[in-house]
């Protein structure tokens, strides 16, 4: 039996074929989960790593061909009304989810000279406010629909390190790391585990060949991370086998030396 058979999962931020979000979706579907995913083309077009307008439909069909149900919607997590609207849509199409993987992120590089209120606020609205309130609303609905069950999962994709050119991104991801443990304690009584995962530098479309050459010596494993590396760990964290692991900030970065 597949490890996630019969589960309903949310994956935020699956806009591109080479992204971590898409790899997570396919890995969960292969494990038997029905998957609802989100995307936001406006960010990919203006500030992300490239727009693939047809990809969400393609990804959805790929998962259906694996024998699971799938649906998706355009989501701007900076909109404070979006968490409720999104969960209502999921419940209409697939049912109440028990797995939430917070992969969607806002990132715009800024150092101490260029960082301003607008840049920091844009990071906060998506990486913190939108992500956290989606998680809280998810937990409230899980508690109502699945009383007594112990298979709820919330996972935050996070980052860190000493990069001085990415202050707002690292700071807001740090807030997700900080909330992981107290939120895990709060939600344990209703059967939800909460963990955060830092996959390290991952070749999800932003690395050119020159960057890869710079990164490879910093990986003892001799290669850079791939989206599938992150998806493999996240599939375990979403499964019943991870039920005794909660409140943890995990690194799965191939021993990356660029701390």
**106 catalytically annotated:** no
Answer whether 0.85 is exceeded by the pTM: yes
pLDDT band at 212 (very low <50, low <70, confident <90, very high): confident
Query: What would the pLDDT profile of 6-36 be if each residue is shown by its tens digit?
Result: 999 999 999 999 999 999 999 999 999 999 9
- 57, with CB counted inside 10 A (0-12, 13-18, 19+), is exposed
pLDDT band at 211 (very low <50, low <70, confident <90, very high): confident
Write the class of the CATH domain 8-251: alpha beta
236, two tokens:
């375990």
Find out whether 172 and 124 touch, Cβ atoms under 8 Å. Answer: yes
The domain locations on the chain are 8-251
Question: Across the chain, what does the average pLDDT equal?
Answer: 94
Residues in the chain, overall count: 259
36, two tokens:
């609802």
Options 40, 106, 169, 256, the catalytic residue: 169
pLDDT band at 45 (very low <50, low <70, confident <90, very high): low
Q: What does the H/E/C string look like for the chain?
A: CCCCCCCEEEECCCCCCCCHHHHHHHHHHHCCCEEEEEECHHHHHHCCCCCCCCHHHHHHHHHHHCCCCEEEEECCCCCCCHHHHHHHHHHHHCCCCCEEEECCCCCCCECCCCCCHHHHHHHHHHHHHHHHHHHHHHHHHHHHHCCCCCCEEEEEECCCCCCCCEHHHHHHHHHHHHHHHHHHHHHHHHCEEEEEEECCCECCCCCCHHHHHHHHHHCCCCCCECHHHHHHHHHHHHCHHHCCCCCEEEECCCCCCCC
pLDDT band at 259 (very low <50, low <70, confident <90, very high): low
* Among 9, 26, 59, 19, residue whose Cα is nearest residue 43: 19
Stretch 177-190: mean pLDDT? 98
């Amino acid at each position: 039996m597949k490890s996630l058979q019969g589960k309903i999962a949310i994956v935020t931020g699956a806009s591109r074929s080479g992204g971590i979000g898409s790899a997570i979706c396919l890995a969960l579907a292969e494990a038997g989960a029905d998957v609802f995913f989100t995307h936001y083309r406006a960010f990919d077009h203006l500030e992300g790593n490239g727009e693939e307008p047809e990809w969400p439909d393609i990804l959805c069909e790929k998962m259906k061909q694996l024998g699971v149900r799938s649906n998706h919607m355009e989501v701007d997590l900076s909109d404070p009304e979006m968490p409720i609207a999104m969960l209502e849509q999921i419940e209409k199409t697939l049912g109440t989810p028990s797995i939430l993987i917070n992969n969607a992120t806002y990132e715009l590089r800024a150092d101490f000279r260029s960082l301003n209120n607008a840049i920091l606020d844009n990071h906060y609205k998506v990486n913190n406010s939108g992500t956290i309130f989606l998680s809280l609303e998810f937990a409230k609905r899980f508690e109502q629909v699945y009383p007594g069950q112990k298979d709820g999962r919330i996972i935050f994709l996070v980052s860190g390190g000493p990069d001085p050119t990415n202050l707002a991104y690292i700071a807001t991801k740090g807030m997700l790391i900080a909330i992981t443990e107290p939120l895990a304690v709060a939600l344990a009584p209703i059967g939800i585990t909460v963990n955060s995962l830092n996959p390290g530098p991952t070749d999800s479309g932003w690395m050119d060949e020159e960057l890869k050459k710079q990164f490879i010596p910093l990986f003892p494993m001799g290669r850079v991370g791939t989206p599938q590396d992150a998806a493999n760990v996240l599939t375990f964290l979403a499964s019943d086998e991870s039920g005794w692991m909660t409140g943890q900030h995990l690194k799965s970065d191939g021993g990356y030396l660029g701390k």
